[in-house]
């Protein structure tokens, strides 16, 4: 498949013309391409978008120049969870888009397990995708395309992907806009899988985003968006985007938080509380499933 035939301008929303590079007949923008890497960032990047690029271009542990094997080890528990709890339960097929790919470990694992499907890794940070290509090589996985883009301006044709997947990414976006775009690019029976999303009841939101809270500290340190949304808010976002079906699956097994101190203890306690209560009344991490 030639992904170039299915790309649209992130600003004008019309199909891109393909020559040596890609260009928009309406606004005249030229988008650089190199092999299977496409830079389709919109012209109106926010400070938070720029902060993501700064992080991936400079971070000593996960950044562009960091050893990809070190990055892989840092994500080991996330990777184990996806391999053991998510991948065996889903029948991935056709064309898959990963949003907010970061180092692209999720795309790499899907492509490694199912080499026959078409996998596109995307992120607002070009440096993240360059790092992701290194990690993909390390795992001997051949992701089909890397696309630098913003989730709220996905540069793909309507009804194109069978699945859109993401790991702990939606709360870094404007969820209302992001989910409308995700819904648009999914095929008629397409599905979304978001693993590692935080569900924060309103009563805890202020603490979570304060100078003492995890989200607040990270947002102030890195300058990235750290949204906090309750169970009801997540449901409303998906419903307003057009999804017909949505369900939550708790991700609170302490096995996948080994060595994280108080977080591991909290997961251990919460894992013994009824899931429905945790989702509605306690801060938690969940996998979000939605169908078009």
| pLDDT recorded at residue 215 | 80
What is the helix, strand, coil percentage profile of the chain, to 5?
40, 20, 35
| pLDDT recorded at residue 211 | 77
pLDDT per position as a tens digit, 96-117? 999 999 999 999 999 999 999 9
pLDDT band at 89 (very low <50, low <70, confident <90, very high): confident
Domain count, the chain: 1
Query: At residue 151, does pLDDT exceed 80?
Result: yes
| pLDDT recorded at residue 123 | 98
DSSP classification of residue 83? I
Find the mean pLDDT for residues 192-203.
Answer: 94
- Considering Cα of 254, then 282, then 152, then 89, what sign does the dihedral take? positive
pLDDT band at 226 (very low <50, low <70, confident <90, very high): confident
| pLDDT recorded at residue 217 | 81
- Answer whether 0.85 is exceeded by the pTM: yes
Find the mean pLDDT for residues 49-61.
Answer: 94
pLDDT per position as a tens digit, 257-283? 998 898 999 999 999 999 999 999 999
| Pair of tokens at residue 158 | 């309507």
Burial letters 71-102, b for 16+ CB under 10 A, else e: bbeebeebbebbeebbbeeeebeebbbbbbbb
pLDDT band at 214 (very low <50, low <70, confident <90, very high): confident
pLDDT band at 71 (very low <50, low <70, confident <90, very high): confident
Higher pLDDT, 10 or 70: 10
Q: Residue 74: left if φ>0, alpha if ψ -120 to 50, beta else—which one?
A: alpha
Query: At residue 209, does pLDDT exceed 90?
Result: no
**Over the chain, what is the mean pLDDT?**
94
CATH number, domain containing residue 125: 3.40.50.150
| pLDDT recorded at residue 48 | 94
Q: Which domain holds residue 37?
A: 3-291
């Amino acid at each position: 498949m030639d992904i170039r035939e299915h790309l649209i301008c992130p600003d004008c929303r019309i199909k891109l013309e393909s020559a040596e590079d890609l260009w928009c007949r309406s606004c005249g923008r030229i988008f650089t391409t190199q092999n299977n890497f496409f830079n389709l960032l919109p012209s109106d990047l926010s400070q938070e978008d720029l902060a993501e690029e700064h992080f991936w271009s400079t971070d000593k542990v996960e950044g562009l120049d960091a050893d990809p094997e070190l990055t892989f080890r840092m994500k080991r528990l996330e990777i184990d969870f996806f391999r053991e709890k998510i991948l065996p339960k889903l029948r991935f097929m056709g064309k898959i888009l990963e949003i907010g790919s970061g180092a692209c470990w999720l795309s790499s694992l899907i492509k490694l397990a199912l080499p026959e499907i078409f996998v596109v890794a995307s992120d607002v940070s070009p440096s993240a995708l360059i790092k992701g290509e290194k990690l993909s090589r390390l795992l001997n996985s051949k992701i089909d395309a890397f696309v630098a883009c913003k989730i709220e301006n996905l540069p793909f044709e309507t009804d194109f992907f069978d699945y859109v997947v993401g790991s702990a990414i939606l709360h870094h976006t404007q969820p209302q806009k992001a989910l409308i775009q995700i819904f648009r690019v999914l095929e008629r029976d397409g599905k979304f899988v978001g693993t590692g999303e935080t569900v924060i009841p309103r009563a805890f939101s202020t603490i979570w985003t304060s100078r003492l809270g995890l989200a607040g500290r990270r947002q102030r340190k890195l300058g990235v968006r750290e949204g906090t949304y309750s169970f009801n808010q997540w449901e409303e976002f998906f419903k307003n985007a057009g999804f017909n079906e949505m369900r939550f699956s708790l991700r609170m097994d302490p096995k996948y938080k080994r060595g994280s101190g108080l977080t591991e203890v909290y997961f251990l306690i919460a894992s013994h509380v009824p899931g429905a209560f945790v989702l509605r009344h306690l801060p938690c991490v969940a996998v979000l499933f939605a169908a078009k």
